[in-house]
Chains A and B, each alone.
Chain A
Amino acid sequence: MSCEQARLQIGADPGNSTAELERHLQDCESCRQFRAEVRTLDANIRRALERPPTAAVTARFTASWRPWALAASVLLAMVAVLAVWALRPSDTLAREVVAHVQEEPESWLARQQVDARSIDGALRSAGVRLDITSDRITYAQSCWFRDHYVPHLVMQTGQGPVTVMILRNQHVSGRRTFHEQGMSGVIVPAPPGSIAVLTRGGANLDAVTAQMLQDVRWLPDAP
């Protein structure tokens, strides 16, 4: 069995094996490593598929399913929808932000301070720098949101945790507040993008929002 044959078999069905494959693996370190990696990936695939995709994940695909057969009525509906979106652009954005935060419920529970390197990693991929100390940040991830990686941070305040998402590619015309799914928040323009700040409790978001507007630095070489 060649390495190509072994990798085809492993990649196609990592949970199964044959005597021939096992013989090959005994003598091939790189294929053994490949199998270990694919099995780890496969375990994550199974975890990912355990739940149906969330609205945040499916959002960009939904529009492509509209049937041509109902073109006239659909066009009319789309005009209406677009008109609503044009008037209140951040409502849809707010829903997707809330859906994303719901997707990561563990983010609210983190209490341990995130080290500066991890924070930098979450920010760098989005072309962002923050001029704040990190001692209040207990969650820092780079999350896939509306076709871009965005920093998803949780900061501890005297009134509980507050989530911040720095949205370089989402433009809003003005400040918008929202209340959805037990969360309240605000999305504010921060040219060239915007910043979303959310809380599950009654934390006053004004101070955090003002601080973020002051401290966010957009790097010129964003991906």
Chain B
Amino acid sequence: MRNSRPESPVSSIGERLSGADPQASVTQLFESMRPDLLRFAHWLARDRSLAEDIVQESLLRAWRSRDTLKDRGAARAWLLTIVRREHARLYERKRLELVPLDEALESQAPAKAADPEGDLFTLRNAIMRLPIEYREPLLLQVLGGFSTEEIARELALSSTAVLTRLFRARNKLRAFCGMSPAPDVSTSEAPS
């Protein structure tokens, strides 16, 4: 069970460090980003407890590799990348079930028109239902602030493939929100 929040290795290390130790500020830097990391992991993993595990493991990895972080201004993107990779590792291991959005859309089509506009709850549901190949680049772009090229590098895809996935992600959300989706684009998704 993952009901209780595991003890933070970063915090534990930080508690052992004196205030004058520069490593303590790294700890503080990482910890200050924990809420953002947790939110990102939660949207990726769709499970609060699992997201906490992912963030905890990611912070531990980050701490071990802290010397490779040369620019503290890039810490957020660096940590988000670690979280994404930790989630991907978990995803590979567990072969997680996907909920096909298209099927959901078909079954809900009659009700969509009646859904009030701007219903964030509906939109959150739709985002959760996006298959991981669409949800992941969307989260990297919107929550992480990554550029198309950065997402392409992170996901080992071509920039065109990333553009296509982002387009399709929004197109599916449009459909879910009752807007007519744009015609799909026909592009290659070959890895970069």
Residues of A bordering B, CB below 8 Å: 4, 7-9, 11-14, 34, 37-38, 41-42, 44-49, 51-58, 60-62, 64-65, 67-68, 100, 103-104, 121-122, 124-126, 141-144, 148-149, 223
Interface: B122 (CB within 8 A): yes
Q: Cβ of B96 and Cβ of A64 under 8 Å apart? A: yes
Q: Cβ of A44 and Cβ of B185 under 8 Å apart? A: no
Q: Cβ of A8 and Cβ of B124 under 8 Å apart? A: no
Q: Chain B contacts of A55 at CB under 8 A?
A: 48
Interface: B76 (CB within 8 A): no
Q: Chain B contacts of A54 at CB under 8 A?
A: 124
Q: Chain A contacts of B138 at CB under 8 A?
A: 45
Q: How far is the CA of A20 from the CA of B61 in the complex (A)?
A: 43
Encode contact with A along B123-144: 1 for CB under 8 Å, 0 otherwise: 1110110000000001101110
Residues of B bordering A, CB below 8 Å: 38-39, 42-43, 45-48, 50-51, 93-94, 96-97, 99, 108, 110-111, 113-116, 118-125, 127-128, 138-139, 141-143, 148, 162-164, 166-168, 170-171, 173-174, 177, 179, 182-183, 185, 187
Main secondary structure on chain A at its contact with chain B? Answer: helix
Q: Cβ of B183 and Cβ of A124 under 8 Å apart? A: no
Given contacts A58-B47, A142-B114, contact A34 B182 (CB under 8 A): yes
Q: Cβ of B141 and Cβ of A65 under 8 Å apart? A: no
Q: How far is the CA of A19 from the CA of B108 in the complex (A)?
A: 39
Complex partner residue of B114 from A44, A51, A56, A149, CB under 8 angstroms = A149
Nearest neighbor of B179 in chain A, beta-carbon distance: A37
Q: Cβ of A125 and Cβ of B114 under 8 Å apart? A: yes
Q: How far is the CA of A223 from the CA of B108 in the complex (A)?
A: 8
Complex partner residue of A58 from B39, B46, B93, B163, CB under 8 angstroms = B46
Complex partner residue of B96 from A60, A65, A104, A149, CB under 8 angstroms = A65
Q: How far is the CA of A15 from the CA of B96 in the complex (A)?
A: 32
Q: How far is the CA of A141 from the CA of B114 in the complex (A)?
A: 9
Q: Chain B contacts of A47 at CB under 8 A?
A: 120
Q: Chain B contacts of A57 at CB under 8 A?
A: 121, 124-125, 128
Q: Cβ of B187 and Cβ of A124 under 8 Å apart? A: no
Complex partner residue of B97 from A34, A38, A64, A124, CB under 8 angstroms = A64
Q: Cβ of B120 and Cβ of A65 under 8 Å apart? A: no
Complex partner residue of A44 from B116, B118, B163, B168, CB under 8 angstroms = B118
CB distance from A216 to the nearest CB of B (A): 18
Given contacts A52-B38, A141-B119, contact A223 B94 (CB under 8 A): no
Q: How far is the CA of A48 from the CA of B42 in the complex (A)?
A: 13
Given contacts A45-B173, A48-B127, A49-B127, contact A9 B163 (CB under 8 A): yes
Q: Chain A contacts of B164 at CB under 8 A?
A: 8, 12
Q: How far is the CA of A203 from the CA of B46 in the complex (A)?
A: 36
Q: How far is the CA of A155 from the CA of B174 in the complex (A)?
A: 32
Q: Chain A contacts of B183 at CB under 8 A?
A: 4, 7
